[in-house]
Amino acid sequence: MTAKHNVLVINGPNLNRLGLRQPEIYGSQTLNDIIESLTADAEKLNIELNHFQSNAEHELIERIHQAYQQADFIIINPAAYTHTSVAIRDALLSIDVPFYEVHLSNIHSREPFRHHSYLSDIAEGVICGFGPQGYAMALGAAAQLLAQNK
């Protein structure tokens, strides 16, 4: 069997509250539910999955830095920092690890301030509006990409 690829999943502020409020927008699954299901998917794909969630911008940046030469791929839902954070954009640019941007909701059908992302133009791909399934779609696509590039 080939060596396991390492995928890091990062979730930004307030996503630790998933399932508790606004299920009409974000669904009823908790973040733990999503990560549990993603971990099972990763096992089947022979991928080592690590997860990090924080409500603090500097902690997200530190974790991105740690991924340098450690993670093969990142799946990130930066939550509200998507629309505000040049610092998270710069952190991702500083490590040269490819990433997918994921959003539970369709940010383009919501308030105008959610339409712009500081990350989309530097992401390998963007998935939004598929709810928790978006993370699984991103993982499947990352696995394919990693297998192609070896």
Judged by the rule CB under 6 A, the positions of this chain that interact with ligand CA2 are 14-15, 17-18, 20-22, 26, 77, 79-80, 82, 103-105, 107, 114
In angstroms, the Cα distances linking 100 to 1, 8, 60, 91, 97 are: 26, 11, 16, 15, 10
Whether 68 is a known active-site residue: answer no
Type and span of the H or E element at 94: helix 86-95
State the minimum distance, in angstroms, from the CB of residue 136 to ligand CA2.
14
Looking at beta carbons only, is 4 or 129 nearer to ligand CA2? Answer: 129
| Separation between Cα atoms, residue 144 and residue 100, nearest integer Å | 13
Whether 103 is a known active-site residue: answer yes
Catalytic residue among 5, 81, 100, 103: 103
Looking at beta carbons only, is 46 or 84 nearer to ligand CA2? Answer: 84
State the minimum distance, in angstroms, from the CB of residue 79 to ligand CA2.
4
Quickly list DSSP for 19-54: TTS-HHHH-S--HHHHHHHHHHHHHHTTEEEEEEE-
State the minimum distance, in angstroms, from the CB of residue 137 to ligand CA2.
13
Positions annotated as catalytic residues are 26, 103
